[in-house]
Amino acid sequence: MKCPLVMVEWVDSARPVPDWIYLADYPEPSVVRCVSVGWLIHDGAHVKALAPNMGDVGTDNMQVSGVIRIPARCIVCIVELDEPKRKKIKP
């Protein structure tokens, strides 16, 4: 399965306001700008899924962890990134 490395810019809601506040004093709400990087493991019409970690790479038993699901309607843009060339580092 080919999974491109991408950066996704998306918007999310802010955490709830925990204190009581007068309605007249409530400030204009805004969204939170987010950026996530990972391999695009699901590119659905309603949700995208990114995996920042992969294990058993190149085998039939590849694994992923830390998967984030982002509603497609929240995505501002997706930029495909160039994967760096792999080279072995001597310990």
Give the model's pLDDT for residue 87: 77
Quick: pLDDT tens for 35-80.
999 999 999 999 999 999 999 988 889 999 999 999 999 999 999 9
Q: List CB contacts of 51: < 8 A, sequence separation 6 or more.
A: 3, 38, 39, 41, 64, 65, 66, 67
75, 9 Cβ separation under 8 angstroms: yes
Q: Which residues make beta-bridge pairs with 33?
A: 11
Quick: pLDDT tens for 9-41.
999 998 888 899 999 999 888 899 999 999 999
pLDDT for 89 beyond 90: no
